A and B are shown apart, each in its own frame.
Chain A
Amino acid sequence: MRDHPERLRRQATDIRIQSDRVRLLALRVRAVGALRWRSPAADLYRGQVEARARRLEREAEAGHELARRFDVLADLLASAPDRSPVS
């Protein structure tokens, strides 16, 4: 139990890395909507791509929020008395 705060912080870092990856994927999705094509069908396509990109950006934000909660949890755990069974 004593190493749990450190473990939680490591996972928070991993989650931040994955969230940044999602942010990059959102950019990649937005880029595929950038066509020169001009037509109602193209507008519809661009709309769908933009919606997917926005949603991924929100997921990336949620991931960073989750990482922050992991850090908070690690702090709480570090300040709490150790209740793990003594061997």
Chain B
Amino acid sequence: MGLDVTGGAGGVGAALEDLSAAAVRLAETAGDLFEVAGALWRAGVAADLVTVALTCPVDAGRVAMELAELAGPTGLVADAGALVALAAGVRSAVAAYAAGEEAVVVLVESAQDAAVLALSRHAVVLTAGVLAAERAGFDVAAATDRLLFSAPWLADLAGGVEGVVAGPASPLDYEDGLALLATAGASRGWLTEAGHELQVTAVVPGGRGAAPQSLADLVAAQEDLQTEGEPDRVRVVQVPQADGSSAWVVVVPGTQEWSPRAGPNPSDATTDVLLMAQRDTQLAAGVERALRLAQQDAGRGGLGDPVLLAGHSQGGIVAAALAAEPGFRRRQRVTHVVASGAPIARLPVPEEVSVLALEHRQDAVPRLEGEPNVDRRGWVTVTRDLRGSEVLSAGASHASARYRETAAQVDASRSASVVQWRLRAAPFLAGDAHGTATVRDYRLTRAGPGPS
């Protein structure tokens, strides 16, 4: 099906964790074997075989020899030694793998910073070239879109944004680079939410308004939330559980407005930059408020129900950013994040939150932070290669509808990591199995004059 699954229960990270635990168990077992060998020796001494040999010399001699073979240096002691050696070998292999991974990450980050710095130093020449090409009737945007589809790794260079401001191997990181850009933009009224406040209003659910019962349903719900010309909605689904409690699914839409100046719709470029710089956003605060309103409406505020946060593109970033925020996790028991087409690798989502990331190899957006998602037991990344499909551009690769198709393929996947994820996420996808699920939509709107 063209799906590449990394991380999760069947991933390398989980295998390394298992190996580390195995090394500990092997060493413990070796210790126990040494103890057993000692106990056998003591049994031999207590039996006083030398005295017994006076009466039954042949039999006592044979027993003494067998005891020495079993408990001696060629028997259990040798077994214990072999287990210690095996444990040490496993530990060394795990350490070597981790060190190798770290070295590759440092190398890639340095290369990204250098490449972006080089491009920025030639920005005037590049801009002039683009303008000349546009004047000559060449569609630069479309050509770039096709180029990114055929060479998706170019989008990884965005991970070197700090290289623009401080050069390669700078002490600044990706978030610092974006924060500096946001600060520079704010002086012109761009990329800032100052002067705005967010309003959250309950509205009649749009689209199908149904509770998701599969990953494909969950991704499709994002399409229900977008109405042309209106600020996006956030969806909160209350899923009844067999024990009478509820699980909560929150669906956040993707970017709608691309102007650098913040307007009424918080699903915009300003929120994108602030989220990636790991700064507070009104959108994330609004999503939390919508969830709280829904829980209060259901009489389940503050009960510690489990929460799954899902979103496409910017929605995925919001989901991961909220899950990464300790304050939010204190107020809501977020257990799952599902992000499609979202650059979330750098967001510090803790290990106790299970993450499923859907990415298309040719989609530039999930590559914008310039590094791959972590490979660990609780983080599954499914990457679909769109070559050979009807999709021919990076832009089309990012479409929510394409991710719905991918989600349907993941629903049918038998990968160990995906199967394990599906099992753990089952309470959120129970639909009406234990009572009628309730879908609530909220419109988030920025009000106020904006920056003065």
* A residues adjacent to B (C-beta < 8 A): 1, 4, 7-8, 10-11, 14-15, 18, 21-22, 25, 28-29, 31-33, 35-38, 41-42, 45, 48-49, 52, 55-56, 59, 62-63, 65-66, 69-70, 72-73, 76-77, 80, 83
Shortest distance from the beta carbon of B55 to any chain A beta carbon, whole Å: 5
Task: Assess A45 versus B79: contact at CB under 8 Å? Given A29-B29, A32-B26.
Answer: no
Inter-chain contact B26/A11, CB cutoff 8 Å? no
Inter-chain contact B43/A18, CB cutoff 8 Å? yes
Shortest distance from the beta carbon of B183 to any chain A beta carbon, whole Å: 46
| Residue among A4, A22, A35, A38 making CB contact with B76, cutoff 8 Å | A22
| Residue among A7, A14, A31, A76 making CB contact with B39, cutoff 8 Å | A14
Q: Which residue of B lies closest to A65 (CB)?
A: B66
Inter-chain contact B40/A15, CB cutoff 8 Å? yes
Task: Assess A66 versus B10: contact at CB under 8 Å? Given A14-B39, A32-B25.
Answer: no
| Known interface pairs A49-B22, A62-B75; 14 further A-B residue pairs with C-beta atoms within 8 A, sorted by A's residue number | A4-B52, A11-B47, A14-B43, A25-B36, A29-B29, A32-B21, A36-B10, A45-B90, A55-B82, A59-B79, A69-B62, A73-B60, A77-B56, A83-B54
B33 within 8 A of A: yes
Chain B residues whose CB sits within 8 angstroms of the CB of A62 once the complex forms = 66, 69-70, 75
23 A-B pairs in the complex with CB atoms less than 8 angstroms apart = A7-B47, A8-B47, A8-B52, A11-B44, A15-B40, A15-B43, A25-B36, A32-B21, A36-B10, A36-B14, A37-B14, A37-B15, A49-B26, A59-B70, A62-B70, A63-B40, A63-B70, A65-B66, A66-B63, A69-B66, A73-B56, A80-B55, A83-B54
CA A63 – CA B43 in complex, angstroms? 12
Q: Give chain B's interface secondary structure class.
A: helix
Q: Which residue of B lies closest to A24 (CB)?
A: B32
CA A49 – CA B83 in complex, angstroms? 9
Shortest distance from the beta carbon of B401 to any chain A beta carbon, whole Å: 33
* B residues adjacent to A (C-beta < 8 A): 9-10, 12, 14-15, 18-19, 21-22, 25-26, 29, 32-33, 36, 39-40, 43-44, 46-48, 51-52, 54-56, 59-60, 62-63, 66-67, 69-70, 75-76, 79, 82-83, 86, 90, 93, 416
Inter-chain contact B59/A35, CB cutoff 8 Å? no
Q: Which residue of A lies closest to B15 (CB)?
A: A37
| Residue among B26, B40, B59, B416 making CB contact with A29, cutoff 8 Å | B26
Q: Give chain A's interface secondary structure class.
A: helix
Q: Which residue of A lies closest to B10 (CB)?
A: A36
Chain A residues whose CB sits within 8 angstroms of the CB of B75 once the complex forms = 59, 62
Most chain-A Cβ atoms within 10 A of its Cβ — which of B21, B66, B76? Answer: B76
Inter-chain contact B59/A76, CB cutoff 8 Å? yes
Chain A residues whose CB sits within 8 angstroms of the CB of B52 once the complex forms = 4, 8, 73, 77
Chain B residues whose CB sits within 8 angstroms of the CB of A33 once the complex forms = 22
Shortest distance from the beta carbon of A5 to any chain B beta carbon, whole Å: 9
Q: Which 7 residue pairs of A and B lie closest in terms of their CB atoms, listed nearest first?
A: A37-B15, A32-B22, A11-B43, A11-B47, A14-B43, A32-B25, A36-B10
Chain B residues whose CB sits within 8 angstroms of the CB of A70 once the complex forms = 47, 63
Most chain-A Cβ atoms within 10 A of its Cβ — which of B33, B52, B90? Answer: B52
Task: Assess A21 versus B18: contact at CB under 8 Å? Given A4-B48, A8-B52.
Answer: no
Task: Assess A35 versus B43: contact at CB under 8 Å? Given A69-B59, A80-B56.
Answer: no
Inter-chain contact B86/A52, CB cutoff 8 Å? yes
Chain A residues whose CB sits within 8 angstroms of the CB of B39 once the complex forms = 14, 18
Inter-chain contact A56/B54, CB cutoff 8 Å? no
Chain B residues whose CB sits within 8 angstroms of the CB of A32 once the complex forms = 21-22, 25-26
| Residue among A59, A63, A65, A83 making CB contact with B55, cutoff 8 Å | A83
Chain A residues whose CB sits within 8 angstroms of the CB of B33 once the complex forms = 22, 25, 56
Q: Which residue of A lies closest to B87 (CB)?
A: A32
CA A65 – CA B62 in complex, angstroms? 12
Q: Which residue of B lies closest to A81 (CB)?
A: B55
Shortest distance from the beta carbon of A16 to any chain B beta carbon, whole Å: 10
Shortest distance from the beta carbon of A72 to any chain B beta carbon, whole Å: 7
Inter-chain contact A52/B66, CB cutoff 8 Å? no
Chain A residues whose CB sits within 8 angstroms of the CB of B55 once the complex forms = 1, 76-77, 80, 83
Q: Which residue of B lies closest to A55 (CB)?
A: B79
CA A69 – CA B62 in complex, angstroms? 9
